[in-house]
Chain A
Amino acid sequence: MLFQFESLTDFMYMSGHGPYVWGSYIVTAIALGALVVLPLLKQRQSFIRLKRQQRIEAGQSQSLIIK
């Protein structure tokens, strides 16, 4: 198995097909990256919502004590 290109520039250029090949790989990476990140953001939102709710609950129980 050998590196198929003469140089790094040659590797980027891919005898004229570079933009097609590299473009495909970059768009694929972005799309798949989005699939990895989206559920993490969703989970973070659930976490923030829960925190806020807990603060509200804590506040309510405090005001009960003052009364």
Chain B
Amino acid sequence: MGWQWFHRLGSPRWFYEKTSRWMFWLALVTVVLLIVGTVWGLAFAPMDSKQGNSYRIIFIHVPTAFLALAGYYVMAIAGAVGIIWQIKLSYMVMRSAATIGAVLTFIALLTGAVWGKPTWGTWWVWDARITSMLVLFFLYLGVIALQGAYQNGVTANKASAILALVGTVNIPIIYKSVDWWFTLHQPATLKFMGESSIDISMAYPLLVMISGFYCLYAWLMLHWTRAEIVESEQKTVWVRDLLKG
């Protein structure tokens, strides 16, 4: 059967060379989307009738929170693939996803707190959504810490992959938290199915920002994984040639 592609995908060299061609174009699309979305959101989208201008934080808060959740699945799945098929590259993806995810979760929490101050009158509440997001942040940090806790790379990879897999329980909880416990955090304004409760004039720049952040995430994942490849394969001839040239 045609399993060759799968094993080729697991080859760091093949991955590095294949993705080299994508980096520039992906970066270009990302930069354009993020600039258009930011300018649109900050200067041209109308002011919110209830929250005033503070709502403009939504254009970074929602995309980063989205990706913090989606990125957790990327990390957990990469970890599972690593455990099952013993693929080195898969663990590199998992390690990259942990750092990027932690930073995105941090941004989502921070912008949420800053948005909360003028809107709710407080920086922080132990609301279900916020608390489960904080747990997500600690899970990401846990994976990073476990990675550094073992001398042996193989053990470290396995341990953090298992933690990542166990932590996936938290993701549906975060997602559903605004419906299960109706506390302070507002429910989702954008919906995949059914009518969104956000006005079109605000939804368009938000969608541009979400697509921009998705591209940024993809680019960052490739960027970090490529750096991991260069570091771990630096004794091979092809990386030596690469660094020389």
Residues in A lying within 8 Å of B, measured CB to CB: 1-5, 11, 14-18, 20-21, 23-25, 27-28, 31-32, 34-36, 39-40, 42-43, 46-47, 49-50
Contacts and interface: CB of A to CB of B under 8 A. Distances in A.
A4 B47 contact: yes
Interface residues on B, range: 35 or more
B92 to A, nearest CB: 12
A2 B45 CA distance: 8
Contacts, number: 91
B224 interface: yes
A20 B57 contact: yes
A24 B111 CA distance: 6
Given A35-B100, A39-B224, A20 B54 contact: yes
Task: Classify the secondary structure of A's interface with B.
Answer: helix
B86 to A, nearest CB: 25
Interface in B48-105: 52-54, 56-57, 60-61, 64, 99-100, 103
Contact of B46 (A4, A14, A39, A42): A4
Contact of A17 (B46, B52, B99, B106): B52
B183 interface: no
A42 B60 contact: no
Interface of B: 38, 40, 42-47, 52-54, 56-57, 60-61, 64, 99-100, 103, 106-107, 110-111, 114-115, 117-118, 216, 220, 223-224, 226-227, 230-231, 234, 240, 243-244
The 10 closest A-B pairs by CB, nearest first: A39-B227, A14-B53, A17-B54, A17-B53, A24-B111, A24-B57, A47-B243, A42-B227, A1-B44, A21-B56
A11 B240 contact: no
A49 B44 contact: no
A28 B227 contact: no
Contacts of A31: 103, 106-107
